[in-house]
């Protein structure tokens, strides 16, 4: 439990400080549009880590409190995934307005579905844990559609060289790894009660 608290609070504070530094740069260094685009990521990271910290802090309070903050923890995860995609889509389709807007809207709608599933009481039951993991995995894998579009229009080499696809792959691998840890209750199942 303690490792979750420390990693979440330090991560939340680090992203808050980084966001403050980034957003206060002069417009000559970082344009306002870029600040808006990256604010999605920073907000998602700060909310995700903040909600996770809060959930792990109050998880021993009562069943009612755990249910509420568990939902907010899932909400934070959804917002982080959405926020992580927005900058890549914005820059990957920088000169193509329609696909950029379409794919950002698609990720936001899928994220909204994940939020609804997260906040719906029925889906907070433990028997729906695999379904919740599947919803987050689907949201995370939604990047396949714009990736295929990019490959068809520009080719694989441009995808890696111009659109920084390797960073999206790293993000996907980390999110899939996190989903697997969540679905298998690792590491907490190895240290029950600690």
Q: List, for residues 97-129, the tens digit of each pLDDT value.
A: 999 999 999 999 999 988 988 888 887 788 887
| pLDDT beyond 70 at 2 | no
Q: Distance (Å, rounded) from C-alpha 138 to C-alpha 111?
A: 10
What does the mean pLDDT of the chain come to? 89
Contact between 168 and 150 (Cβ < 8 Å): no
CB-based contacts of 30: which residues, under 8 Å, 6+ apart? 22
Residue pLDDT, tens place only, 27-55: 889 999 999 999 999 999 999 999 999 99
- Nearest Cα residue to 60 out of 144, 108, 135, 4: 4
Long-range CB contact pairs, 138-143, < 8 A, 24+: 138/110, 139/78, 139/81, 139/82, 139/107, 139/110, 139/111, 139/113, 139/114, 140/81, 140/172, 140/175, 140/176, 140/179, 141/172, 142/85, 142/106, 142/107, 142/110, 143/85, 143/88, 143/107, 143/168, 143/172
What pLDDT, on the 0 to 100 scale, is given for residue 15? 98
82 touches 40 (CB < 8 A):
yes
CA distance 50 to 82: 16
What pLDDT score was predicted for residue 49? Answer: 95
149 is in an annotated binding site: no
Could you tell me the CA-to-CA distances from 34 to 25, 88, 161, 170 in Å, in that order?
11, 11, 20, 22
Which pLDDT does position 194 carry in this prediction? Answer: 60
């Amino acid at each position: 439990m303690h490792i979750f608290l420390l990693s979440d609070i330090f991560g939340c504070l680090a992203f808050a400080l980084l966001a403050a530094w980034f957003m206060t740069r002069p417009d000559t260094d970082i344009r306002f549009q870029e600040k808006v685009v990256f604010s999605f990521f920073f907000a998602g990271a700060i909310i995700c880590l903040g909600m996770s910290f809060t959930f792990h802090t109050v998880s021993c309070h009562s069943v009612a409190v755990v249910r509420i903050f568990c939902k907010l923890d899932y909400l934070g995860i959804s917002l982080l995934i959405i926020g992580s995609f927005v900058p890549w889509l914005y820059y990957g389709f920088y000169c193509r307005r329609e696909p950029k807007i379409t794919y950002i809207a698609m990720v936001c709608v899928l994220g909204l579905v994940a939020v609804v599933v997260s906040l719906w009481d029925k889906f907070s039951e433990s028997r729906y844990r695999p379904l919740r993991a599947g919803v987050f995995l689907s949201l995370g894998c939604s990047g396949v559609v714009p990736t295929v579009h990019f490959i068809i229009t520009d080719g694989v080499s441009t995808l890696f060289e111009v659109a920084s696809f390797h960073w999206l792959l790293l993000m996907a691998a980390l999110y899939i790894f996190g989903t697997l840890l969540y679905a298998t209750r690792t590491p907490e199942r190895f240290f029950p009660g600690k």
